[in-house]
A and B are shown apart, each in its own frame.
Chain A
Amino acid sequence: MKEEIIIAGFGGQGVLSMGKILAYAGLMDNLEVTWMPAYGPEQRGGTANVTVILSDQPISSPVLNTYDTAVILNQQSLDKFESKVKPGGTLIYDPYSIHHAPTRTDINIYPVEAMEATFELSSSKAYNMVLLGSLLKVRGLLPVEAVMKGLKKTLPERHHHLLPINKQAILKGMELV
């Protein structure tokens, strides 16, 4: 098993933390993991992306140019990464901030109304968790319980009261796709 994932969007949307939770969940599930951010001077509003690799074998390069799966949160990222998904791969995106939908026919494309869902959940901060839920459902990478353990590891203790709403968001994402 090896899954090469790119998660891309605006800084502040939870791109890096979504990758982090995924990486921690991989760790909990005894997989090899790498988490490589495209770090830069960007802050909230700029672009942000992270490459996460989960594998049952040792991982060589943490830097990639094609991906099994892309999770896309804004138009710039779609423009940049649609062509980088391997044929037969997966593209998950939120149509909320997309003006030009993806056009490839050789990959599996899943629009997920994640932003709409966060309005229902009344927690916009759980936005990335909705998309993570969709990713888990589509790719069947990891059990939700491993992800919850990963989330508990990444979230500082003072925020642990937010665990239930995050789980709700993940389940919502699984349901939406």
Chain B
Amino acid sequence: MEDEVRLMKGNEAVAHAAIRYGVDGYFGYPITPQSEILETLEELMPWETTGMVVLQAESEVAAINMVYGGAATGKACMTSSSSPGVSLKQEGISYIAAGELPALIINCMRGGPGLGTIQPSQADYFQATKGGGHGDYHLIVLAPASVQEMADFVALGFDLAFKYRNPVMMLADGVVGQMMEKVVLPPQRPRRTDEEIARQCPWAVTGRTGMRKPNVMTTLELDPVAMEKNNLRLQDTYRRIAENEVRFEEHGTEDCDYLIVAFGSVARICQKAMEDARAEGLKVGILRPITLWPFPYDEVKRLSKKVKSILVVELNAGQMIEDVRLSLEDRVPVHHFGRMGGIVMDPSEVLGALKNIIEKRQS
């Protein structure tokens, strides 16, 4: 039964996969083109089987803050929305990132800006990969290209979120959300017990038991020195993620003269274009970043050395292209210096950083 091949929409697959992963809570608010996630969960009534909470909140803002609260107790919590709704969630997402909490946020992108259209888009790439909310934080961003990946990335998303204590965004679009194709759902796992959660998440605010030190969950830090420390810890997490979690997929890159870089459903569309181009003797290859953050800079750079040109294809005015261009930076190195948390640098620090760079170039 578990391995049965099913036919369903990407959104429906997310709902099934969430229950089977043993998610503790889903909090959402309807918006096209992702409403089937909430609808399917309500149809499946997991509160009667696994005990998973499914709640239609009064707004997107309420939903993301319910995720924040649930995540703080070590529970596996998620929300989903589409572009305008995800904009509303940004404050909460920044807080979840600052609180170093695991959570899964799904954005099934539609056309923007503003209330926009309800059709597929990839115009939230900047928002998803470059922050979105305020402050120096990163989400791990997964871009599914099939219904199977919509299902699989629920588990992958939560696994990464708990491994790094960092929120994960599944950046889908109206195509993968609305289309139906074959999917094999993962086996049903039990939800974690309170003891298991306490073991896995010693930081969780679960109510103080025994004589353990109280856990405090706050994102407010009045002392800039302490806040810079918090920032440095976050940056260290992001470095570890960037080192270990870059994911991508390639087609026809072994012998290609031209490289297409595309993500999500657009990569599927480009694959068809590649098949057609190859039929005409044009050697085209595709690089599909699966993690949009961390972005596969090294792989783009490696491939760029053997191709004549690169075409970036996206459902937006040119967003991921900036990361592709960044990958190609080899002749002119770009460096950065900064401080964080409210600390203002003094001139000597700037001079020190500058000297550091010159020294490194000479050695």
Contacts from A to B (Cβ < 8 Å): 20, 23-24, 27, 32-37, 39-41, 59-64, 153
Interface check B345, CB cutoff 8 A: no
User: What is the interface of chain A mostly: helix, strand, loop, or mixed?
Assistant: mixed
The residue from A32, A39, A59, A61 contacting B178, defined by CB atoms under 8 A apart: A39
Q: Which residues of A contact B67 (CB under 8 A)?
A: none
Interface check B33, CB cutoff 8 A: yes
Q: How close is B201's CB to chain A, nearest CB, in angstroms?
A: 39
Contact A61 B269 (CB under 8 A): yes
Q: A60-B275, A61-B269 are in contact. Are A40 and B178 (CB under 8 A)?
A: no
Known pairs A23-B180, A33-B181 / 11 extra A-B pairs, C-beta < 8 Å: A27-B7, A32-B181, A32-B182, A33-B7, A33-B180, A35-B180, A37-B179, A40-B118, A41-B118, A60-B269, A61-B272
Could you list 20 examples of A-B contacts with CB < 8 Å? A20-B180, A23-B180, A24-B7, A27-B5, A27-B7, A32-B181, A33-B7, A33-B181, A35-B180, A36-B178, A36-B179, A39-B32, A39-B118, A39-B119, A39-B178, A40-B118, A61-B273, A62-B175, A63-B175, A64-B272
Contact A39 B7 (CB under 8 A): no
Report the nearest B residue to A28, measured CB to CB: B7
Q: Which residues of A contact B5 (CB under 8 A)?
A: 27
Separation of A62 and B272 alpha carbons in the complex (Å): 9
Interface check B174, CB cutoff 8 A: yes
Separation of A20 and B12 alpha carbons in the complex (Å): 15
B interface residues, tally (CB under 8 Å): 20
Interface check B94, CB cutoff 8 A: no
Q: A27-B5, A41-B118 are in contact. Are A60 and B178 (CB under 8 A)?
A: no
The residue from B32, B179, B182, B272 contacting A60, defined by CB atoms under 8 A apart: B272
Q: How close is B301's CB to chain A, nearest CB, in angstroms?
A: 26
Report the nearest B residue to A34, measured CB to CB: B181
Q: Which residues of A contact B181 (CB under 8 A)?
A: 32-35, 59, 62
Contact A61 B179 (CB under 8 A): no
Q: Which residues of B contact A40 (CB under 8 A)?
A: 118-119
Separation of A33 and B146 alpha carbons in the complex (Å): 12
Q: Which residues of A contact B118 (CB under 8 A)?
A: 39-41
